[in-house]
Structure 1
Amino acid sequence: MLLDLSVELLELIGAQLTHCDLAILRTVCKALNGVLCRSFFFILVLKTNRNGLSQQRVDLLKALATRETGWSAHAKTLRIVPAKQLSLKRVSDNTLVPLLAAALASLPKIHTVVWHVANQDHWAWERTAVLAFLATLGDTLHELELSIPNTINLSALQIRGLRKFTFKCPGYGPSSASLVGLGLSSTPMLPLMYDDIAALISGNQLTSLHFEGTTEWSVIWRLMRSRKDGTKLIEITTSIVTQDLFDYLSSYSGLEKLALMLSDGSNQTVSNHLADAFFETVLPRHAETLRELSCPSAYQSGFSFGPHNVHVVSSLHKLTRLEMSINAAAVQSVHSYGLTMLPILVGGGGLPVLTEADQDDLDLVVTLLLETAAGFPFLQTLIIRAAETEENRSAGYWYVLHHPRNPINHTNAVNVAIGNAVEAFCTDVLCSATVYAGHATYRLLPRGVLGPTCAVAEAQATPRGCLRYVQTGWWSPCPL
């Protein structure tokens, strides 16, 4: 019986359930409803529309403004995000601003705020109320995530208790990521917001910083390096790598999570120079503490895994998650009658690949990476990506992937070869990590246990090991 469990255990269970599941359990009995109230009302999601709100959402704001809902007593996280569908009937923003302000004022226990806005027009009516609310949180706001237009003025935010800050450029994705590789920025950061964010970071002792977009944040990294108050980031995520970032990371020890979403320096020469600094000076500083590392290279460079950096990667013995790319120089076109079927759709569907990579070239590097991963006792996830060829840099990711006349689809060919190499790998060393490679997921199992597409690999496997990677599902290696 659930009611035989302690209140603390029930709350832990409730924290793992979906909102719908919690709603169902609350109807079972009064006692269970009372225990799960904290979990049910822990997160409040407010969805806004471009020109206002639907009547249903207006009614929610009115209920919140009474300060008699469960969210007033228990809400710790507030998410303000765009609605996916626009309602036909709207309420004008003349009445929405004070109503939203009253609703937000009813949430005294908020510690985390996520505010996403689709575009400049979308957020105009809600801006005043949300900014005023953020300004009142002061020392109580610990986590802030913003995905808002660059024209906003954040100078009024006098927040002093922030521990985690995330800024995402609206609309950033694979298409804009390709612009970064060209040295271009589709969403330049205005000086006003840049200075405001720098002031916000300077006024707080952050432990986690997340920047996602096409803006270069060297000023922030120089600011962090110059601080004398002992503030050290233990989690960093960024889309842009610079020497200033690596200078900061080399200035201290203790980093636990590092995600370089796009390891690239705009050309191969600069990328290799940055990669040398990264593996020679940055990672050794954090080898004793780093638990998660993601540094796939956007284009072929020294950031990819290989014999040149295996000695550094293998020293990160506390890793639970590792994500790296692999270079493959030898990729060529094949005749139409020799098509490789690339299974990228769940259920085994496939698309023809008109190129193929040198399998021997990939086997050596993939084998080295899998053997290295086996030396990490806590590793749970290994992600192997294909780095794009430098020759395709100027074309952009989506052109290379989708243009019908593109003769060399480099990454798809390399992904096929990576998958083949994983399936052919045999070992006697246990590794509990799930491997994401090629277009599939794999687990290490005894030989003879076949996955849906492993018969060929089983027949070709050498007898040197009794364990091999068996496919357990499909995976799409889309860019970050």
Structure 2
Amino acid sequence: MAEDYYSEDSKWIPGVVVDSMATLPVLDDFRLTSDKPSFGRNFDCYFDRLASLRTLTLASSNPVHLRFICATLSHAVHSSPLSSLRLTTKHPGMSSPLNGIADLFPSLQLDHGSIPHLRSLRSLWLSYSSGKIWETLRIECIHLSEIHTDYVQQALLEYILSYSGLERLTNDGDEDDGNDGDDDDNGREHLEPLVEEFFTTALPRHKESLVALSCRGVWEGKWSFGAHNVDLLSQLHKLKSLRMNVNVVSAGYAPPSVTINRSSGRGRRELFEIEKDSADRNLVHRFLDLVNELHIMDVAILPAAPLRYRKSYCGNPIVRHKEIVIRAIDAAVREFKSSASGKSEVVLLAGDNFYKMDYMADRYRAFESVNLSWPYSYARLLEEHE
């Protein structure tokens, strides 16, 4: 495996890496991360020299870097039977790091040299992917076992519906709402045209194989955990990892005597509470019930941003809102008790804090705080906190 991190202070690295690649014809794992605008212009990876790549990871902290090496990236597919391809950016909500991810495969649908190599692909990570990618995978019957994306669209759902056997699915971003204008979008409906199809039709296709699901939209809505999807999620009996958001609802305002200082004056503080199901059960508690029912081990329940801030240019209101929600999630987790029996190895990330389930003195099980940091290795975590 070759791994490289390129920064502005290491301009000599591109030449060294390229020269080294020429001497490693059997290299099977190549990972490249950049953080400066000059990266793509100074770096020309000769992937056509490598015929044994199985895992290719390219990550950029700026969405424009990797587009400069699209032509050479396409050689990786032409030259190697990849099993894992990861192309990511750390800037959600911006343009594709490849200036249109389809540019990576300029003739993917027609090129008989690339399609055979793509048939070995099992893991695909894409940021802001083109629908043409998913359409091609569907038409060519290339069935992935792992999908990681931050951009849900109709073509992706049609692809997921076309087969069964998906094991790991991550959606950590928005869906394509088809609305690039300035229309009012405070309502949730037009932002979630795909969510019902995802939970009711696409996900059940893989209920016999799915072991990891991360569904964390940026905004509050039906992509979050709730009464609308809990029954569907309960069908995923093999699930071992589940990460989702939870919504809050307004609980009115603090009494007039309770005020907060703002730069514009003093105002009443809006109160929020975790959504509840039809039985008036806190949805964080219902989420934890599901975790116990399915014996899920790796769990996260997290806040999302309110839709009313979707077009805000200032992130401070979102940060303050998430802090409020995190406190509500944390309080709900600390209140939770379960009479479920059997050994539990679940580790829970709730907001900013980690918890591990343990027996209490009254024989009920509850979550106790553990000292961890994100990201973490679940396997190593269990070893350290047995």
Three-state SS of the structure 2 residue aligned to 1:330 is: strand
Give the superposition deviation at 1:123.
4.2
Structure 2: gaps spanning 5 or more residues: 60-64, 178-184, 261-268, 376-386
Return the index of the structure with the highest Cα Rg. Answer: 1
Q: For 1:204, which of 99, 118, 129 is the aligned residue?
A: 118
The aligned amino acid for 1:425 is: F
| Larger relative strand fraction | 2
Q: Which moved more, 1:265-274 or 1:409-418?
A: 265-274
Identity of aligned residues (%): 22
Task: Say which SS state the counterpart of residue 192 (structure 2) adopts.
Answer: helix
Q: Is the 8 A contact 2:88 2:97 kept in 1?
A: no
Query: 2:207·2:235 contact (CA, 8 Å) conserved in 1?
Result: yes
The alignment status of 1:142 with 2:54, answered yes or no, reads yes
**1:278 Cα shift?**
0.5
Tell me which residue corresponds to 2:140. 227
Please give the residue correspondences for 1:51-200 in structure 2 after superposition, counting only pairs within 5 Å.
Answer: 77-83=1-7, 86=9, 97=15, 101-127=18-44, 130-131=45-46, 134-138=47-51, 140-147=52-59, 148-152=65-69, 153-154=71-72, 155-157=74-76, 158-169=78-89, 172-173=90-91, 177=92, 179=93, 188-189=99-100, 192-193=103-104, 195=106
Q: Which residue of 1 aligns with 2:364?
A: 466
**8 Å contact from structure 1 (residues 331, 410) kept in 2:** no
Q: Deviations over 1:293-319 (max 9, x none)?
A: 000121122111111111110111111
Aligned residue in 2 for 1:434: 347
Which residue of the partner structure matches residue 308 of structure 1?
228
Task: Kindly tell me the number of residue pairs found equivalent between the two proteins.
Answer: 341
Contact in 2 for aligned 1:382/1:434 (Cα 8 Å): yes
Q: Distance in 2 between matches of 1:166 and 1:289?
A: 22
User: 1:237 is matched with which residue: 148, 151, 158?
Assistant: 148
| Greater share of helix | 1
Counterpart of 1:391 in structure 2: which amino acid? R
Give the conservation status (yes or no) of the 8 Å contact 2:300–2:348: yes
In structure 2, how many angstroms separate the alpha carbons of the residues matched to 1:163 and 1:187? 20
Q: In the TM superposition, what whole-angstrom CA distance separates every residue of 1:4-47 from its partner, at most 9, and x where no partner exists?
A: xxxxxxxxxxxxxxxxxxxxxxxxxxxxxxxxxxxxxxxxxxxx
Task: Please list the CA deviations of residues 208-240 of structure 1 after superposition, one character each: whole Å capped at 9, or x if unmatched.
Answer: 10013xx34211011111114xx3100000010
Code of the aligned partner of 2:3: R
| 1:109 to partner: Cα distance | 3.0
| Residue in 1 that maps onto 2:325 | 414
Q: TM-score, normalised by structure 2?
A: 0.78
Look up the match of 1:372: 290
Q: Distance in 2 between matches of 1:332 and 1:394?
A: 24
Q: What is the distance in 2 between the residues matched to 1:119 and 1:359? A: 41
Q: 2:202 corresponds to which residue?
A: 282
How high is the TM-score relative to the length of structure 1? 0.63
2:312 maps to 395
Q: Distance in 1 between matches of 2:114 and 2:244?
A: 29
Equivalent of residue 257 in structure 1, options 168, 187, 191 = 168
Aligned residues of 1:366 and 1:422 also touching (Cα < 8 A): yes
The answer on whether the counterparts of 1:271 and 1:302 sit within 8 Å (CA) in structure 2 is: no
List runs of 5+ in structure 1 lacking aligned partners. 1-76, 341-353, 403-408, 449-462
RMSD of aligned alpha carbons: 3.2
| SS of the residue 1:162 aligns to | coil
